[in-house]
Structure 1
Amino acid sequence: MNQNQQLELSKEKVPLFKFILIGDQSVGKSSIVKRYKNEEFNYNIKATIGVEFIKKFVQVDKGLIEIQLWDTAGQEQFRSVIRSFYRGAAAVFIVYSVNLKESFDQLSIWLNEIEYHAHSEIIKVLVGNKCDLQREVQKEEAESLMNNNNFSLFFETSAKTGENIDEAFIQTAKLVLLKYFSSDSFRQATKVNKKSADPINIIKSSNKNESFEGQSPQQQQHQDSNQSGCC
Structure 2
Amino acid sequence: MGDDPVKVVLLGNSGVGKSNLIARYHANEFSNEFMSTIGVEFVTKKIEVDGVAIRLQIWDTAGQERYASMMKTYYRKAKGALLVYDVTSQSSFDSLEIWRKNLEANADPQCVSMVAGNKCDMEGVVDEAAARAYADAHSMGFMMTSAKTAQNVDTLFEEVARRIIATMAAGSGAAAPRPAAGGGMKLSAPPNGGSSSGSKQSSDCC
TM-score, length-normalised on structure 2? Answer: 0.80
Cα distance in structure 1, aligned partners of 2:75 and 2:66: 17
User: Which stretches of structure 1, 4 residues or longer, exceed 4 Å deviation after superposition?
Assistant: none
Which amino acid letter does the alignment assign opposite residue 79 of structure 2?
A
Q: Which has the higher helix share?
A: 1
1:161 alignment partner in structure 2: 149
1:141 alignment partner in structure 2: 130
Cα distance in structure 2, aligned partners of 1:117 and 1:158: 28
Matched residue count: 173
Cα distance in structure 2, aligned partners of 1:103 and 1:121: 25
User: Cα RMSD over matched residues?
Assistant: 1.6
Alpha carbons 1:99, 1:137 under 8 Å: kept: yes
Cα distance in structure 1, aligned partners of 2:3 and 2:168: 13
Q: Secondary structure at the match of 2:67?
A: helix
Q: Secondary structure at the match of 2:63?
A: coil
**Structure 1: runs of 5+ lacking an equivalent:** 1-10, 186-231
2:161 alignment partner in structure 1: 173
Q: Give the Å deviation of 1:45.
A: 4.4
Alpha carbons 1:72, 1:82 under 8 Å: kept: no
Which amino acid letter does the alignment assign opposite residue 159 of structure 1?
A
Alpha carbons 1:93, 1:125 under 8 Å: kept: yes
TM-score, length-normalised on structure 1? Answer: 0.72
The alignment-based identity, stated in percent, is 35
| CA deviation profile, 1:2-53 (whole Å, cap 9, x unmatched) | xxxxxxxxx9x42421000010000000000000011121112421002111
Q: Give the Å deviation of 1:99.
A: 0.5
**Structure 2: runs of 5+ lacking an equivalent:** 174-206
1:182 alignment partner in structure 2: 170
| CA deviation profile, 1:110-164 (whole Å, cap 9, x unmatched) | 111012101112101101000011111011010111121221x111100000000
Paired residues for 1:72-111 under 5 Å:
72-111=61-100
Alpha carbons 1:22, 1:93 under 8 Å: kept: yes
Q: Give the Å deviation of 1:82.
A: 2.2
Cα distance in structure 2, aligned partners of 1:149 and 1:172: 15
Cα distance in structure 1, aligned partners of 2:112 and 2:52: 20
Q: Give the Å deviation of 1:84.
A: 1.3
Which amino acid letter does the alignment assign opposite residue 111 of structure 1?
R
Q: Of the candidates 49, 54, 66, which is equivalent to residue 55 of structure 2?
A: 66
